[in-house]
Amino acid sequence: MFDRLEDLLIRFEEIMGELNEPTVTNNQARFRSLMKEQSDLTPIVEAYKEYKKCKQDIDDSLVMLESESDEDMREMLKEELNEAKKRVEELEQELKILLLPKDPNDDKNVIVEIRAGAGGDEAALFAAEVYRLYVHYAESQRWKVETLNVDDIGIGGMKEVSFMISGQGAYSKLKYESGVHRVQRVPETESGGRIHTSTITVAVMPEVEEVDVVIDEKDIRIDVMRASGSGGQCVNTTDSAVRLTHMPTGIVIYSQTEKSQMQNKAKAFALLRAKLYDLEQQKAHDAEAELRRSQVGTGDRSEKIRTYNFPQGRVTDHRINLTLYKLDKIMNGDIQEIIDACIAADQAAKLSRMQNEG
């Protein structure tokens, strides 16, 4: 590990040297590449420099202890020594986590698709609430939200909604939201006061560039039609809605949120690329079943990941055995604690696997 850290430190110095050259901005692609590499290496280099300083502090304290006879000074040196040793242990763990292989999609924007599952109208109402949950969370992160497609039921519920969240590290945080979300509560339409259980599915997919997924035009059927549902004056007046059918997979994408057919088509293709990429990812996950099981539910769409129990005011994440009694705050987008716990559990599982393999 420390040989690798030394190599990264040397590489960091090389990058800084190149970035300080006056002509570095002449090649913008090279400049952006260097800036990204510098950004990725900075936390590792800073932690490693602090680690080296703490190790030096330990050595210095040991040397001084050998020659120091004053008891008060010896106590102070022992205290500094213990603090430095404790910090070294913390930094070793920190560095192991920082050196874990990075998910190449972590810095990407995401496309989120929420679908109502079992539970009829109640599931559709909950789908709309979870959509608002993610919008509030995105706003708290200063991310941008753009609706790609929505199929609402007219009473405030959504059978299905697809939307893009754009922002630094969006996928690294939201990827743990994929799976089945279950709600337990008394629906407003239930006169007997019985608790119903409904489900929705959430799929979080990284935004994919055109170069990453090549779509053959021969495989696509494009239909244009008039938009339907709520949407103002342009609804039913122009053929702005777009439906894409990808023949090899049977995936159908419908987009009508924009007034322009061209914009709807661009959104539909963005969603199709994400779905095709996700399909390949799912195949890879299925081929590595053991790896998927050791991770915190980022692969299996059918996995029940979370329960929202309204009568008890609690939310339970089943993958990490975490229960929080702050359902109101969570439904308002306060999900950072859950995300942090998922990240920590995922890192612990990866570290354990690496140690077993080593």
Most confident of the following: 59-63, 219-223, 325-329: 325-329
Give the range of the structural domain holding residue 223, as residue numbers without chain letter. Answer: 110-348
The reply to whether 208 and 85 lie within a common domain is no
Mark which of 98, 130, 149 sits at the end of a domain: 98
Mark which of 98, 120, 152 sits at the end of a domain: 98
Confidence (pLDDT) at 234: 44
- Window from 30-39, 80-89, 280-289 with minimum mean pLDDT: 280-289
User: What is the number of structural domains in the chain?
Assistant: 2
Position 165 in a domain: yes
pLDDT in tens, 37-59: 888 889 889 998 988 998 888 88
**SS3 per residue for the chain:** CHHHHHHHHHHHHHHHHHHCCCCHHHCHHHHHHHHHHHHHHHHHHHHHHHHHHHHHHHHHHHHHHHHCCCHHHHHHHHHHHHHHHHHHHHHHHHHHHHCCCCCCCCCCCEEEEEEECCCHHHHHHHHHHHHHHHHHHHHHCCCEEEEEEEEECCCCCEEEEEEEEECCCHHHHHHHHCEEEEEEECCCCCCCCCCEEEEEEEEEEECCCCCCCCCCHHHEEEEEECCCCCCCCCCCCCCCEEEEEECCCCEEEEECCCCCHHHHHHHHHHHHHHHHHHHHHHHHHHHCHHHHHCCCCCCCCCCEEEEEECCCCEEEECCCCEEECCHHHHHCCCCHHHHHHHHHHHHHHHHHHHHHHC
% of the chain exceeding 90 in pLDDT: 27
pLDDT in tens, 230-265: 444 444 456 778 888 888 888 888 888 777 888 888
Distance CA 242, CA 235 (A): 13
% of the chain exceeding 70 in pLDDT: 89
Closest listed residue to residue 144, CA positions, set 114, 111, 175, 177? 111
pLDDT in tens, 193-215: 788 899 999 989 888 776 667 77
pTM beyond cutoff 0.75: no
The reply to whether 21 and 149 lie within a common domain is no
Q: pLDDT at residue 299 above 50?
A: no
The reply to whether 81 and 117 lie within a common domain is no
Mark which of 98, 119, 154 sits at the end of a domain: 98
Confidence (pLDDT) at 46: 92
Q: Measured on CA atoms in the order 139, 184, 202, 235, is the torsion positive or negative?
A: negative
Q: Mean pLDDT across the chain, nearest whole number?
A: 84
Position 105 in a domain: no
- The CATH number given to whatever domain includes residue 78 is 1.20.58
- The CATH number given to whatever domain includes residue 165 is 3.30.70.1660
Higher-confidence residue: 300 or 268? 268
Position 172 in a domain: yes
Confidence (pLDDT) at 302: 63
Confidence (pLDDT) at 311: 93
